[in-house]
Chains A and B, each alone.
Chain A
Amino acid sequence: MTLWRLLLIPALALLLGALALGLRHDPKQIPSPLVGKPLPAIAGQTLDGAPVDLAKAGQGGPMLINVWASWCESCAVEHPVVVAAARQFGDRVAFIGLNYRDKRELGEAWLAQRGNAYRWSFFDPEGRAGIELGVYGVPETFFVAADGTLLAKHVGPLDADSLRGYLKTLFGVS
């Protein structure tokens, strides 16, 4: 009887612990299996129509790929933060946009109205580059090392502090 009780308590604690862990886990945050791996080559064109490979956009330096769209409301909230960071760090980190499932004119108008934070934006009207990168929501931001390895992915809008944090810890830029 006592042995049975002794076993029951840790078993129940384990079960409750697992449940608590499960409840704290945010199902909207899907870990990316691409983190730690080199970015796949993604050939296409910029919003301006120039041919590019998204994976080589850093040109030997660190880069940030910010997924945005004119229809995305959180992108409009996030954008001033990205514009300010690009002004401050844009010479050391390549700020690249990924215009996701958008129309060219709408994307261009959006940038004209809100300021263009990016060296250029990859034009992805069919969401192909998005799937290559495992994009499932907008905005998303990918941090890529100088050697092309994906270091981290942020889902949802960035605020100024978290963006600074990423740039400092991942790229040593501040």
Chain B
Amino acid sequence: MALLLLVPLVPLVRADVVAEDPQQRQMLEIAEKLRCAVCQNQSVAESNAELAQDMRRIIAEQLAAGKSEAQVIDYFRARYGDFVLMRPPRQGSGAPLWWAPWAILAVAGGGAFIYLRKRLRDQGDS
């Protein structure tokens, strides 16, 4: 009897998983790219702060109104600045974050190369 009752539940549960709202998923994808301004190191998707909840609602509304991901992100960027982007932009304020590691690597690596080559040459001489 218990088994009979359980059987119809299985397809119901499955149907629930399949029926995931694609707009909800797109909302969370955008929310993952935005920083929650009050919680600093969490994305809007991860945070449960009230501001993050408000931002998720506005993302969902703007998607429902037919805006693209880039338009939604630009909306928040115009109000909270580049800070709101989880990945710093490659141009403008975030640019040094992208090229500085390579510059440091080039200088340090180049220096190490010159130093080691010179030491090797000095050893060869003696």
Whether A7 contacts B111 by the Cβ 8 Å rule is yes
**Contact (Cβ within 8 A) B78 A33:** yes
User: Which residues 47-88 of B sit at the A interface, judged by CB distance below 8 A?
Assistant: 50-51, 54-55, 57-58, 76-81, 83
Shortest Cβ gap from B115 to chain A (Å): 6
Give the docked Cα–Cα distance between A109 and B77 (Å).
35
Closest to A27 in B: B40
Instruction: Tell me if A's interface is mostly helix, strand, loop or mixed.
Output: loop
For residue B107, CB closer than 8 A to chain A, the reply is yes
Give the residues from 26 to 54 in chain A that come closer than 8 angstroms, CB to CB, to chain B: 27-28, 30-34
Q: Is A16 an interface residue (CB 8 A)?
A: no
- Chain B 22-56 near chain A by CB (<8 Å), digits 1 or 0: 00000000000000011010000000001100110
Chain A residues within 8 Å of B54, by CB: 101, 126-128, 130-131
Q: A30-B80, A30-B81 known; A136 and B51 CB under 8 Å?
A: yes
Count of residues in B whose CB is under 8 Å from the partner chain: 22
A77 at the interface (CB under 8 A from B): no
CB distance from A165 to the nearest CB of B (A): 24
Q: Flag A123-149 by CB within 8 Å of B: 1 or 0 each.
A: 000111011111011000000000000
Q: Is the CB of B79 within 8 A of A131?
A: yes
- Chain B residues with Cβ under 8 A from A13's Cβ? none
B89-124 vs A, CB cutoff 8 Å, 1 = contact: the mask equals 000000000000000100100010011001000000
- Assess the B50–A101 pair: CB atoms within 8 A: yes
Q: Which residue of B lies closest to A136 (CB)?
A: B37
Pick 15 A–B contacts, CB within 8 A, sort by A: A4-B115, A7-B111, A31-B83, A32-B79, A33-B78, A34-B78, A34-B79, A101-B50, A101-B54, A126-B57, A127-B54, A131-B54, A131-B58, A136-B51, A137-B38
A-B pairs with the 7 shortest C-beta distances?
A: A136-B37, A134-B79, A127-B54, A33-B81, A30-B83, A134-B80, A136-B38
